Amino acid sequence: MRSRDGDSNFTLRLCSIIVLCSLSLSASEYLISYKYIVKDAILYNETLLISKSMKKCSGKPYSELVLDNYGQKNLKKIISQNSTLFIDYIHKLGLHVEHKEMTANLQNSSTTTLTLRTTCFKVDFNDSLARIYPLK
């Protein structure tokens, strides 16, 4: 016979702890896009957009980037604190480049746009590190 005071309660608590641990240990998925515009050799605009994915992304993770997270769980703050590493990393992933040049009345004008199209990234937060993997 099962006692009324503890066996089922213990099983329920154990199951809930296992579920919560598995949810907290799994990697989160984020959608990241980046745009960098240079007009006449001067930085005109730089935009980094990050949002949590609302549905599961498909693909296999590759080319890991490890960043110090300084105790943060906010991906945008982590990336802003490690901005040069992240920008170098996405340059290696491949950016779409668009260049326009125009000359009028002996004056040259140029605009270059670098774009990382919206890409799904898996992000795994540890105590001191954030591991970022793009999905392909």
pLDDT in tens, 4-57: 555 555 555 544 444 334 334 457 899 999 999 999 989 999 999 999 999 899
Q: pTM of whole model > 0.85?
A: no
Residue 102: exposed, middle, or buried by beta-carbon count in 10 A (0-12, 13-18, 19+)? exposed
The strand pairing partners of 31, in sequence order, are 51, 120
53-111: per-residue pLDDT in tens?
Answer: 998 998 898 889 999 887 888 899 999 899 899 999 998 888 899 999 999 998 999 99
Residue 106: strand, helix, or coil? coil
